[in-house]
Structure 1
Amino acid sequence: MEDRVTYGEIRAWFLGSYYNYCRAKLSHQSPWAEGESEVGYAYSELENSFDLPVEKLMLEILALILSADRSSEKVKKYHLDMIRGLLKEIELSSVLNDLPSDEAAELKKDLRVLGLY
C-alpha cells in the first residue's frame, strides 16, 4: 500500500485535538454551547487532511467511535453517509488485507462496534 497515515496516527492526532480543545475550554472557563463538542472540533481540525480513501474512512470511523453515540442524529447520519460513500469507493476486504494485521483487526473491531462490518 502506498505511503499512508496509520489508524493509530490518525487516532493520536484526533485525540490530541480533542484534548487541546477541552484544555482550552477549562483554561478559559468557557461554558459549553448547545451542540458544541470536542469531537466536532477535532474532526474539523482533520477533515481535509487526508488524500487516501482509507485514511478518510479511518477518520470517519474515529469520529463516530469517539462521539460514543452522544452526537445528534444529523451528525451521526453525516458520518455514516460519509463511511458508506467511502465503502462504495474502495473494496474494504482488499484494503483490510493490505493493512498490517493488528491495524486491520482494530479497524474491523471498530466497524463491528458501529454495525458496519
Structure 2
Amino acid sequence: MKRTAKYDFFNDAFPDDERVPYKLLRWRFLNRYYIYCHSKFNVVRQTCREWVPNEHESAFAQDDLDTAFELPIEKLMFEVLSMIMAGGRQSEQFNMHAEQRIREILHGRDVNDLLECLSGDELLEFRHDLALLNIA
C-alpha cells in the first residue's frame, strides 16, 4: 500500500523530507506570486505609483523559491512551472536561461528516468506541461 505523506503547512515542509509533489510546488509558486501582488497593491495604493515596466510577479516567486528544491525532478518541475507561469510573456533572455537550467538538470539523465517517481494525475499533468514546452 502506498503511503501518503502529510504536509506540514506551518513549516512548509514534509516531516520526512519526501519529494515535493508538482501540485504543492505549484501552490508554493502561486503563494509567492500572491504575496508579491498583495504587497504591491498596498504600495501602489499608498504611493500612487504604477508597476515598473518589465516588473513581473512571477520573477519574485521564482527568485524566492530558486534554491528551495534539491532533487533533480523537483528542480525540473520548478523550471517547467516557471516557464509556464511566464505565459509566453518572457524575454528571449529568460527563455535561454531557463533552457540552460533545464539542460543542466537533464545532463547525463534521461527525462523518463526522472519521471519514474511520478504516477497517476501528477505524471499526466507534468507530462502535459513538458510537452507544452517541447521538452519531452
Q: TM-score, normalised by structure 2?
A: 0.79
Matched, 1:24 2:39: yes
Separation in 2, partners of 1:45, 1:13: 10
88-97 or 65-74, which deviates more: 88-97
Tell me what 2:27 maps to: 12
* Mapped pair 1:108 → 2:123: no
Farther off after superposition, 78-87 or 44-53 = 78-87
Contact 1:60 1:79 in 2 (8 A): yes
**Which residue in 2 is equivalent to 1:82?**
101
Contact 1:53-1:90 within 8 A present in 2 as well: no
Identity %: 34
Which residue of 2 is the match for residue 92 of structure 1?
Answer: 111
Give how far 1:105 is off: 1.1
Contact 2:25 2:78 in 1 (8 A): yes
Larger Rg: 2
Deviation per CA, 1:53-108: give whole Å up to 9, x if none.
11111110010000011011101111111112212243211221221221111111
Query: How many matched pairs?
Result: 116
Contact preservation (8 Å) 2:73, 2:115: no
Partners in 1 of 2:121 and 2:109 — Cα distance? 20
5+ long unaligned stretches in structure 1: none
**Matches of 1:85 and 1:104 in 2, distance apart?**
22
- The CA deviation string for residues 25-71 of structure 1, in whole angstroms up to 9 with x for no partner, is 11111422232111100000100111111111111001000001101
Alpha-carbon RMSD = 1.4
Greater per-residue helix proportion: 1
Q: Which has the higher contact order (CA 8 A, sep 6+)?
A: 1
CA contact (8 A) 1:14 1:43 kept: yes
